[in-house]
Amino acid sequence: MAVAAENQPQEKITTTEASAVEKRRWTLNDFDIGKPLGRGKFGHVYLAREKRSNQIVALKVLFKSQLQQSQVEHQLRREVEIQSHLRHSNILRLYGYFYDQKRIYLVLEYAPKGELYKELQKCKYFSERRAATYIASLARALIYCHGKHVIHRDIKPENLLIGAQGELKIADFGWSVHTFNRRRTMCGTLDYLSPEMVESVEHDASVDIWSLGVLCYEFLYGVPPFEAKEHSDTYRRIMQVDLKFPPRPIISSTAKDLISQMLVKECSQRLPLHKVLEHPWIVQNSEPSGVYKS
C-alpha cells in the first residue's frame, strides 16, 4: 500500500483473504459518512456505511503528511498487514484500506460501546467478575495471535474497544510484530513495559503475558502497578518487580495470585496464557459466555 508517496513500491500482501480485501478497491464514494467517533494523533475516525453491503463500519482517516512527518508509515503498514489477517471475536477487524493523494482510509469494524479506558475512568475500577471476563477474553485473543506468530506488545486500556455485546476488542496493532525470532526493539507505553523491554534485551510473546498482568492489576485497582511520578521510578519499579497490593479495594487472594504469576521478571517463568485460562480466579469469576453485561 502506498502509505508514503504514490510512487513508492507497494508491499504485497500474500494471503487469499487479503487479496479478496484488496480486490474490493474501495474509494470514498463507496461510503456514506456519518458522525465523528473520535480523533487520534494522525486523523479522525467516522461512523460510515458501506453502500453496497449496507454494513456499518468505522472509517479511520489518516493524513499522509502527518504520518510522514512522524515517520510512522512503516508502523502503519505493519499494523494494516497484521490486523487485516486476524479473525477473532476479541480482535477488531480491519476490513481493508484505500487511499487518495492526501489521505489513507482504514475500514474498521465499528465498536459501538467505545473505549474501555473511559469505562474504567467512569467506574474507577472493575468488579472481579468483569475484570476476569475481560482478562479471559484477552488471553484467548493473545493465544490466537501468538499462534500466528504475532506479538501485540502494546496491550493497555487505551487500545481496547467494546463491541455491541460488551465484548472486548483489541484495536491497535501499531506496535505489533509478526515474528519467528526474538525481538530487541524498544516500544510500547512505559507503564506496561516488561523488564526485558525496559532493558531492550531480547523478548518474545511472553511480553504480552506481562502486559496482561499489568492490565489485570489496573482493572482491579484502577491504576497500573508500577506507576510513579518520574519515568525513572517507573523503570526502577518494573525492573525490581516492585509489586504492591493496596488494602483498598479489597481484592481476592486468587486474583493477586494470578497477577503475581504473570508479573514475573524471568519471562520463561510467566504463567502461560492457556494456564491463565485455567487459573481458579478466571474459572470462578469469568463469564462463560466471554461477555460481560453490566
Ligand X SMILES: Nc1ncnc2c1ncn2[C@@H]1O[C@H](COP(=O)(O)OP(=O)(O)OP(=O)(O)O)[C@@H](O)[C@H]1O
Asked if residue 183 lies in contact with residue 204, where contact means CB atoms within 8 angstroms, the answer is: yes
**Residues 42-61: x where in contact with ligand X by CB under 6 A, - otherwise, as a string:** x--x------------x-x-
Number of other residues whose CB lies within 10 A of the CB of residue 266? 10
Determine whether 257 is an active site residue: no
**Residues 59-98: x where in contact with ligand X by CB under 6 A, - otherwise, as a string:** -x-------------------------------x------
How far apart (Å, rounded) are the C-alpha atoms in residues 245 and 247? 7
The SS3 of residue 105 is strand
Whether residue 280 has a cis bond before it, omega within 30° of 0 = no
How far apart (Å, rounded) are the C-alpha atoms in residues 168 and 142? 12
Q: Is 256 annotated as a binding residue?
A: no
How far apart (Å, rounded) are the C-alpha atoms in residues 244 and 9? 51
**Residues 143-172: x where in contact with ligand X by CB under 6 A, - otherwise, as a string:** ------------------x----------x
Q: Which is nearer to ligand X, 90 or 286 (CB)?
A: 90
How far apart (Å, rounded) are the C-alpha atoms in residues 124 and 140? 25
Residues 6+ apart with CB under 8 A from 45: 36, 37, 38, 39, 58, 59, 60, 61, 108
Whether residue 9 has a cis bond before it, omega within 30° of 0 = no
Q: Is 32 annotated as a binding residue?
A: no
Catalytic residue selected from 32, 100, 154, 204? 154
- Note whether 41 binds ligand X by CB under 6 A: yes
Determine the size of the site formed for ligand X (CB under 6 A): 18
Q: Which is nearer to ligand X, 177 or 241 (CB)?
A: 177
Cell 465523528 belongs to: 36
All three cell numbers of 88, joined, read 477473532
Number of other residues whose CB lies within 10 A of the CB of residue 129? 13
Select from 12, 39, 87, 124 the one that contacts ligand X (CB under 6 A): 39
How far apart (Å, rounded) are the C-alpha atoms in residues 27 and 29? 5
All three cell numbers of 136, joined, read 479471559
All three cell numbers of 193, joined, read 513495559
How far apart (Å, rounded) are the C-alpha atoms in residues 89 and 162? 11
Of 7-15, 36-44, 48-56, 70-78: span binding ligand X (CB under 6 A): 36-44
Q: Which is nearer to ligand X, 105 or 210 (CB)?
A: 105
Of 35-43, 64-72, 94-102, 203-211: span binding ligand X (CB under 6 A): 35-43
| Ranges within 104-143 binding ligand X (CB under 6 A) | 108-111, 114-115
* DSSP summary character for residue 192: G
CB of 92 to ligand X, least distance (A): 6
CB of 106 to ligand X, least distance (A): 9
Q: Is 205 annotated as a binding residue?
A: no
Q: Which is nearer to ligand X, 38 or 246 (CB)?
A: 38
Q: Is 97 annotated as a binding residue?
A: no
Q: Which is nearer to ligand X, 117 or 235 (CB)?
A: 117
Which residues participate in catalysis according to the annotation? 154
Known binding residues for ATP are 41, 60, 109-111, 158-159, 172
- In the complex, which residues of this chain contact ligand X (CB under 6 A)? 37-42, 45, 58, 60, 92, 108-111, 114-115, 161, 172
Known binding residues are 41, 60, 109-111, 158-159, 172
